[in-house]
Amino acid sequence: MMILEIGATILGLSQGILVLLNKRINWIFYIAQIICLLTFSYLNKLYGDVLGNGVYLIFGVLGWFLWKNESKFLITKCTNNERLMYFSVIVLGTITLFILLGHTQDPLPFIDSFTTTTSFVATYYMVRKKLDTWIIWFINDICYVFQYSLLERQAYYLIALNIVWTLMAVISFFNWNRIMKGASK
């Protein structure tokens, strides 16, 4: 299981740097990392994450194709309506998944529900190149650190990865904001 953790960590760091730089190739590393995480989550009975990682494979392929023509697909901010929508999806998704995961062997159904839902939303907005994705990722990564530290067999590499990702979310927010402002000139 540690090989999955190490693989996901290395691939995730690589992907994180590439997406921070707004590079399309990040999606290849993303897809490979998701395969490692899907397997890890299944073996740890984190069923919300299993579901999420299956969807992320689709997001990864979608991101690869949507980012194909980077000059036409620019970074933008979410509108207030989009913010209301993603907040509503996070609340309703977390509640719904919590109810569903409460009937499984998931050791942490609430936090698993929240991290799964916020990951869906953040990934969706990352694919669409919305600046708000980094705010959602920041919150999500902090919660993943907490989740992985509560597991019976703590996932130290994934804890470390999510600590780094928390910092990268802040850096990515400022870098994407700079790129966005530069493109509007």
| Helix %, strand %, coil % of the chain (to 5) | 80, 0, 20
Residue 93: which domain range? 2-183
Q: List b or e across 53-90, with b for residues whose CB sees 16 or more CB atoms inside 10 angstroms.
A: beebeebbeebbebbeeeeeeebbebeeeeeeebeeeb
Q: How far apart are CA 70 and CA 22, in angstroms?
A: 9
| Tens of pLDDT, residue by residue, the chain (185 residues) | 789 888 988 998 999 899 989 899 999 999 999 999 899 888 988 777 788 789 989 999 999 998 987 666 789 999 999 999 999 999 999 999 999 989 988 889 999 999 989 999 999 999 999 999 999 999 999 999 999 999 887 788 889 889 999 999 999 999 999 999 987 66
Tally of domains within the chain: 1
Q: How many CA atoms lie within 13 A of 93 on its CB side?
A: 20
> Residue 142 has what pLDDT?
97
Task: Give the per-residue pLDDT at 106.
Answer: 86
